[in-house]
């Protein structure tokens, strides 16, 4: 099987649910930005010093595939992100936050390579969240996607702190 299909040569792409849309549509912009999160997290995983953080990032990447599929579909039948998805992100945030000292100052990114990469993933996640909000004003979007992206940016922030502040593996 060849990597190229030539089906997008005229500026359209296929959605997960089968429709063809322009490559610059709001929906493609939204799931494309989530794809950028995937790459940013891949870099963060490669640079992270702590095994627990690497494992958490890999789990996030696996779940992002479902989130992208959710956005890349116009069908309510293709909903993969739900309240349990959000609760899992919240539990992960709480697990790591419990081992960190209370935040007492603003953080300037870049203390470690892993922390810097996680901060880049955080800001890309915020951009994806804005793209989903724009999309939701025009088309139906699973509301749990926006919430999950909001929690993901929080988790990236907490993981960045773990990489910067803790000298040992947290778990």
What is the pLDDT, as a whole number, of residue 1?
81
Residue 124 and residue 135: Cα distance in Å, rounded? 16
Q: Dihedral of CA 45/48/49/53: which sign? A: negative
DSSP string spanning 87-134? HHHHHHHHHHHTTSPPP-S---S-SSHHHHHHHHHHHHHHHHHHHHHH
The model's pTM is 0.94
Domains, the chain: 19-99+111-165 (1.20.1200.10)
Per-residue pLDDT tens, the chain, 171 aa: give them: 888 888 888 898 888 888 899 899 999 999 999 999 999 999 999 999 999 999 999 999 999 999 999 999 998 888 999 999 999 999 999 999 999 999 999 999 999 999 999 999 999 999 999 999 999 999 999 999 999 999 999 999 999 999 999 988 888
């Amino acid at each position: 099987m060849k990597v190229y299909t030539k089906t997008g040569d005229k500026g359209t792409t296929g959605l997960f649910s089968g429709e063809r849309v322009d490559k610059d549509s709001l929906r493609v912009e939204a799931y494309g930005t989530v794809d950028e999160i995937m790459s940013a997290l891949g870099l963060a995983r490669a640079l992270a010093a702590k095994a627990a953080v690497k494992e958490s990032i890999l789990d996030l990447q696996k779940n992002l595939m479902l989130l992208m599929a959710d956005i890349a579909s116009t069908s309510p039948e293709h909903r993969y992100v739900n309240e349990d998805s959000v609760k899992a992100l919240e539990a992960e945030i709480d697990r790591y936050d419990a081992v960190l000292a209370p935040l007492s100052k603003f953080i300037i990114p870049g203390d470690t390579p892993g922390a810097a990469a996680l901060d880049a993933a955080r800001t890309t996640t915020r951009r994806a969240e804005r793209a989903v909000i724009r999309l939701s004003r025009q088309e139906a979007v699973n509301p749990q996607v926006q919430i999950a992206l909001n929690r993901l940016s929080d988790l990236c922030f907490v993981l960045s702190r773990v990489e910067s502040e803790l000298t040992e593996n947290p778990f």
